[in-house]
Amino acid sequence: MICVKLHRSYRNIFAVCDSDLIGKAFHEGIKQLDCKESFFKDKEISKEEAIKVLKAQSTEDATFNIIGPNSIDAATKAGVINPNYIQKVQEIPFILVLL
């Protein structure tokens, strides 16, 4: 399952994270990933539903904060990320996207 949360602001932020990573933090050198429930979890949805929602959000003026292999895969299938820009912290993939 994948957790998603839409933060409404002057420019929406769509937060997407694998459910099993919620509440965990990862550190590697100066890089840090903090998968806070308060930021990433509004709803839990399937990967197929995440693909649909990601496609819909890509037509809006949104930014994306995506963490975890399932979430990255959904974003790739939705066509909202370029896999060449995926980074990792302790083997956990993540990407920040500004469309």
pLDDT digits 0-9 by tens, 53-93: 999 998 887 899 999 999 999 999 999 999 999 999 999 99
Grade residue 11 by pLDDT with cuts at 50, 70 and 90.
confident
Mean pLDDT computed over 15-37: 96
- The CA-atom distances, in angstroms, between 67 and each of 5, 10 are 13, 23
Q: CA–CA distance from 58 to each of 7, 29, 55, 79, 95 (Å)?
A: 14, 32, 5, 9, 15
Do 4 and 43 meet the contact criterion of CB atoms below 8 Å apart? yes
pLDDT band at 32 (very low <50, low <70, confident <90, very high): very high
**Three-state secondary structure call for residue 12:** strand
pLDDT in tens, 42-60: 999 999 999 999 999 988 8
Residues 6+ apart with CB under 8 A from 45: 1, 2, 4, 53
What's residue 61's pLDDT?
Answer: 77
Report the CATH fold assignment for 2-98: 3.30.1860
Contact predicate 33/92, CB 8 Å:
yes
Q: For residues 3-25, give the mean pLDDT.
A: 95
